[in-house]
Structure 1
Amino acid sequence: MAAPVIGATSYVEDASTGVWHERAVWLPDAYVAPLRDAGAVIAVLPEQDPALAEDVLARIDGLYLTGGYDVDPAAYGAEPHAECDEPRAGRDAWELALVRAALAAGKPILGVCRGAQLLNVARGGTLHQHVPDVVGHDDYQKGDAIFRELGVSVLPDTLLARLHPLERDVPMYHHQAIDRVGEGLVVSARSVHGLVEAVEDPSQVFCLALQWHPEHDELTAVWDAFVAAARVRAGR
């Protein structure tokens, strides 16, 4: 069977490698390695004209919303918190258009970290802009790229419950989180402190978004199921 093509969102930022210091399209390999291992071909989708989103979705079999900087609070009608990242307006507009096109086309969607937040905003939801304001500590993002293992509880009778243990520690690194859940989404996991850690859309063939970082976990079922759904959606 032919490998499905997964479109993965990406950073467009200043980057350095050796003597070169340039504006670059980049994505940590950890994000895409599990998809390769599951048998997918990855097409990186840097920000561009949002009007092209439908054309792009016609050429891929699934959409993967990767991590990155904070979604601009203006996208959900809020003023920015002092701890918010500088907005990446181009990336936000592009990825919101991709999500809406993927939902309309019924293409499988997987979101990770920022990807979960973006899916929620695309559906009219809002975000907690600084998790320490909600839980009173910084365990969810210790800084220095150090992932913290924290417990989540997966809700039964969800897609995620078929792919992940109901109680388990997972790698966390986020200072924002879902607040008001977007239309059509259901919560499928919460953290030990009650934060929303996963959402899904049961009306879609596969639409799942995790606030934690499964690319730094040894479990493969989520990746395998996403790629399998993309293969079926493509009729391959």
Structure 2
Amino acid sequence: MQLTQVRSRLFRNIVDSGNVDIAPDVTALVGKNESGKTALLSAIYRFHPVYPQDSFTLGQDYPRWRKVPDTRSGEIKNAKPITCTFTLDDEDLKAVTDVLGPGVIKGRSYSRSIPYEGTNTVILQVDEAVALDNLYADEEVSPALRSVLGTRSLAAALEQADGLAAAEDSDYTAVDVDLFTRAARQRLGDSASAWQRAVRILRGREPKFFYFSDYQNLPGRIALTERVTPPRATGAT
């Protein structure tokens, strides 16, 4: 999972950083003092900090000059101090494939935004119908049962299967329904959909971030004679 883009909004002295592309090797932020370089790095760190206590705090991090009017207008509820966009690698795709089967994730882009309060916003394209079709194929579900359960999504098929009784003239049995139900619940886990299941898998694979700001200044000129001590002569007596 490679970080490729970040955006910070309404965090400290940043109103909106816009989309900032991250290079695959080294990215340097250049700007005047108080232009938001440190604030942006701090926001990125808080996306998934190695120390969980370092999180966003509305009272400390929200721009003070906007807090009162944004609270009145309700905009403060929609504030997202950091959004990180990643490009998924083959291992990320495999982690989802191992659970939901191939072809469920469309593309390789994964994005998550963190608000000050409430739930995160995730952008990930998942084909719910493919996830269901993978289960049909792996469990060799009969065409008759497929026609009853539908082709929309795992969650919809599971809802349809709950309480479904096989009719006397049907080409599937109660055992077939039970086997499908067990398999679907195993794939979804405690998630409500294949999309949610995929998101939870990928969130567990997000990189953790460190942040450090210690540095030392060196003088513009260094006298080598003061830095280099000549070796002492030694001898035996």
The structure in which a higher percent of residues are strand is 1
Compare relative contact order (CA 8 Å, sep 6+) and give the higher one, 1 or 2: 1
The structure in which a higher percent of residues are helix is 2
Same fold (TM over 0.5): no
- TM-score bracket, normalised by the shorter chain, equals under 0.3
Return the TM-score normalized by structure 2: 0.21
Return the TM-score normalized by structure 1: 0.21
Asked which structure has the greater CA Rg, the reply is 2
